[in-house]
Structure 1
Amino acid sequence: MRNARDRAIPSRTKQVIRDVFSKLDYDVLGDVYCEEGGVAFWKAHKKKCQTMGIRIAEALKQRLSQKGRSLYVGAGVAELPLLVLETLDMNRTVEAYNLREREVHVLNEACYGLPLTIRASPAQTARGAFDHLWMASVLNDPECFPETSALCYGRANPVRFDPAAFQRERTQILELLDVCLPKLSRPGIVSTTVEEVTWMTDWLTRNRIPFHVETQLYPTAIVGDPLCFIRLEATKPA
């Protein structure tokens, strides 16, 4: 990994991040993220998304190479500092996906003029190889996977828990991983949360791909799940 000076984000990049956040339509985002109280939510989280996002971006900069490719599954407001860093500071290509069309419109409006576009389509449609996969707070999303989320966070009610629904969610999660993880080149990096590590390591183990889960954790701004990095080892020559 690079030293602290190498991972520091230039002031011009931080200014671009601040500019992007200043252009976001928080009224619309409030409706997207909250059933009620959206204005108060973003008043509390806007600054945190910037500061925590920059810290994660600095950590990611240590681990990624220049001019690589990243696949972002579920790229939202919290991922904006990372997307700006990769495209402006590291000359990397990012393919970012988010199924919430209203949020995607807001994000792309705020990022107008930058070399990145967020797509309102499934990440499974991404083509080619990537050396970095971002999948954080996706597999335990209570909107997409309510039963799985309840299990992950210890909220499952033994009386009301629906095992059949969980099995369907589990199948969907495994299908998503079966499409996205093979797109990773080796060596490669997976950015994910501690709650999702088990899904990742299970897939990597079953597919006999050597990996190492880093112990350093990074707090996140919106969901609050700690983020970590998984390193995929290089393919050994035959």
Structure 2
Amino acid sequence: MSTSRVKLAPATSRLITETYGQLDYGALGPVYCYEGGDEFWRAKRGPCIRLGIQIAVLLKKKLKRNGRSLYIGAGVAELPPLVMETVELGRAVKPHNLRKAEVTALNHACRAIPITFHAGDAAKAKGRFDHLWVVSVLNDPERFPNLSPLSYGQGNPLTLNPMQFDKERRIVRALVARCMGKLERPGLVTTTTEEVIWIAEWCHQHGVAYRVGKRYYQTALVGDPICFIHIGEGD
């Protein structure tokens, strides 16, 4: 079946739009920007829904029914795939986010859906998963200010703090190791083109086969292109 023939059920698309309508954008403004929160969300709400549904359609084709997904750093942009997985595929989703204000707003908006965001470290999630979502997490400029510029090819050798960079790199590697250790094989990782290297490094170190998809997909908020990595095929 071609991706172009896969669609979300109309009821799912309506539920996604309704969930975005339940969000407290006033509370979310300070989470995503320093000023101009109202203008930010007026501009981004539509693209979040439209591009998020595109990713949800792709995942609908790739994921099996009744599986489990671990979402690392899940926020507003992740609502469409989370809703799709829950409603259409009957999957259990575990979205984690370290920003408590965003978690509160998301859980309020999702109170009519069996989706609960967790304000904590995704690496502590229990059990095994067949899908990991790691999008714009390992290159987050707020959490990794020394590592992030290098991820985008913008590092400045005059200002780079090598000790802080090494510390941040150890944190990223540890997070990847703990989360990848929860992934069943074969499994799927949804990530960005800038974060592929961390997943690939783990696979090389553990002798695990992986295949990075050749197509990239636009995102609404950060702008990092998304891709899919198939893990453990043929192991």
Q: TM-score, normalised by structure 2?
A: 0.97
The aligned counterpart of 1:57 is: 56
The aligned counterpart of 1:125 is: 124
Residues 1:96 and 1:176: Cα distance change in structure 2 (over 3 Å): same
The aligned counterpart of 2:70 is: 71
Matched residues in 2 for 1:7 and 1:186: separation?
Answer: 25
The aligned counterpart of 1:195 is: 194
The aligned counterpart of 1:47 is: 46
Kept after mapping to 2: 8 A contact 1:190/1:229? yes
Q: Tell me, what secondary structure is at the counterpart of 1:166?
A: helix
* Percent identical: 46
Matched residues in 2 for 1:30 and 1:5: separation?
Answer: 35
The amino acid that maps onto 2:81 is L
Kept after mapping to 2: 8 A contact 1:6/1:62? no
Q: Tell me, what secondary structure is at the counterpart of 1:119?
A: coil
Matched residues in 1 for 2:167 and 2:53: separation?
Answer: 36
TM-fit CA distance, 1:150: 1.0
With 154-163 and 14-23 compared, the bigger mean Cα shift is at 154-163
Q: Tell me, what secondary structure is at the counterpart of 1:35?
A: coil
The aligned counterpart of 1:157 is: 156
Cα displacement string for residues 181-218 of structure 1 (whole angstroms, at most 9, x for unaligned residues):
01000110000000000111011111000110011111
The aligned counterpart of 2:173 is: 174
Matched residues in 1 for 2:160 and 2:147: separation?
Answer: 10
Alignment partner of 1:112 is 2:111 = yes
The aligned counterpart of 1:135 is: 134
Matched residues in 2 for 1:235 and 1:192: separation?
Answer: 21
The amino acid that maps onto 1:210 is A
Q: Tell me, what secondary structure is at the counterpart of 1:178?
A: helix
With 88-97 and 151-160 compared, the bigger mean Cα shift is at 151-160
Alignment partner of 1:89 is 2:99 = no
Alignment partner of 1:28 is 2:27 = yes
With 147-156 and 211-220 compared, the bigger mean Cα shift is at 147-156
Matched residues in 2 for 1:188 and 1:6: separation?
Answer: 23
The amino acid that maps onto 1:222 is L
RMSD: 1.1
TM-fit CA distance, 1:160: 1.2
Q: TM-score, normalised by structure 1?
A: 0.96
Consecutive unaligned residues in structure 2, runs of 5 or more: none
Kept after mapping to 2: 8 A contact 1:136/1:193? yes
Matched residues in 1 for 2:72 and 2:59: separation?
Answer: 16
Consecutive unaligned residues in structure 1, runs of 5 or more: none
Matched residues in 2 for 1:157 and 1:6: separation?
Answer: 46
Kept after mapping to 1: 8 A contact 2:3/2:58? no
TM-fit CA distance, 1:235: 5.9
Kept after mapping to 2: 8 A contact 1:186/1:235? no
TM-fit CA distance, 1:60: 0.9
Kept after mapping to 2: 8 A contact 1:131/1:187? yes
Kept after mapping to 1: 8 A contact 2:129/2:182? yes
Residues 1:167 and 1:214: Cα distance change in structure 2 (over 3 Å): same
